[in-house]
Each structure stands twice: as structure tokens, then as C-alpha cells.
């Protein structure tokens, strides 16, 4: 699985002018399931995200997690994180998980974050979404379950 983590002061996702998820301080998580990904990988990645120390402590150092600061997560499906641009100007997405598996893993990732005590809001899988955010910092971090065992 891949996730693009953005530390935000606020974020919102809308589908057809209807807000499907909105948070204040926390993390906007753009999530992509890749072919061969499993629930176990979704759980490991969710746990890593929840513990990621990218919020400032009293000394202004990035030393606190979203859990530590009582922040929330806005989880948005983003199959385009699977883009392969190695063969020209038009990206290919064949390494993304098929939609039915992608949706299951996306839901599992979000459920695991909830199980870790986070407040979780979500986008709508497969929908044409508009995402608005105020990136705090800015802090943007790429994570991939393939990077760790």
C-alpha cells in the first residue's frame, strides 16, 4: 500500500457538492492499494501512520504523533499513487489493486486507524472528489508498505 501523508490544520473532501469528510488538525491521507497488498499490510501501514511523529512539541521539534495531539485523519482513496511514468508521458496504473480489492483495503486501513483510537473521516471510493486542505508546515511524507517488512 502507498499513502501520501499531509499534516494539515484543516481538510475537507466533497463529492457532487456534498461534504463526505472534514477534519481540523490532523492528517490528510491519500491511500492507494497496490496489486498483491493484504489486510496485514494495511494494518501495518495504518499503525506506522498513527505513530508518525510529525507534529511539533513544546520545543517546536517534530516529535509528536497525530495520536499524541488528539488529531484526526481524513482518508481519501487515490489510485493514481500507483502511476508508472517510466514509459512516456501518459501514466499507467496497472500496478494498482483492482477496484474491489482496493476498496476493501482502503476501508480496512481506515477501520484500523479507528481501532487505534483516531477520529477518521473519509472520501468516497471511486468518486470524483474535490479535496481542499491547508497543509501545515508544509509537511508531506510518502510512505509505502513495500519499504518495510
CA 45 – CA 117 distance, rounded (Å): 15
Residue 80 appears among annotated catalytic residues: yes
User: Out of 6, 55, 79, 109, which one is annotated catalytic?
Assistant: 79
Q: How many CA atoms lie within 13 A of 135 on its CB side?
A: 10
- Whether residue 85 lies in the annotated active site: no
> What CA–CA distance (Å, rounded) separates 64 from 54?
6
Give yes or no: 95 in active site.
no
As a whole number of angstroms, the distance between CA 124 and CA 126 comes to 6
Catalytic residue among 6, 55, 78, 109: 78
Task: Give dist(CA 56, CA 53) in Å, integer.
Answer: 8
List 80, 85, 107, 140, catalytic entry? 80
For 23, other C-beta atoms within 10 Å of its C-beta total 22
Would you please indicate which residues are annotated as catalytic (active-site) residues? Answer: 78-80
Amino acid at each position: 500500500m502507498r499513502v501520501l501523508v499531509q499534516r494539515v490544520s484543516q481538510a475537507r473532501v466533497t463529492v457532487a457538492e456534498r461534504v463526505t469528510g472534514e477534519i481540523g488538525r490532523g492528517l490528510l491521507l491519500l491511500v492507494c492499494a497496490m496489486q498483491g497488498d493484504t489486510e496485514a499490510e494495511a494494518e501495518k501501514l495504518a499503525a506506522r501512520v498513527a505513530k508518525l511523529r510529525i507534529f511539533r512539541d513544546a520545543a517546536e521539534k517534530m516529535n509528536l504523533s497525530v495520536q499524541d495531539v488528539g488529531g484526526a485523519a481524513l482518508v481519501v482513496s487515490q489510485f493514481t499513487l500507483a502511476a508508472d511514468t517510466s514509459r512516456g508521458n501518459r501514466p499507467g496504473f496497472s500496478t494498482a489493486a483492482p477496484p474491489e480489492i482496493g476498496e476493501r483495503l482502503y476501508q480496512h486501513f481506515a477501520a484500523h486507524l479507528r481501532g487505534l483510537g483516531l477520529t477518521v473521516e473519509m472520501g468516497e471510493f471511486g468518486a470524483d472528489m474535490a479535496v481542499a486542505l491547508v497543509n501545515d508546515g508544509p509537511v508531506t511524507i510518502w510512505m509505502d508498505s513495500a519499504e518495510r517488512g
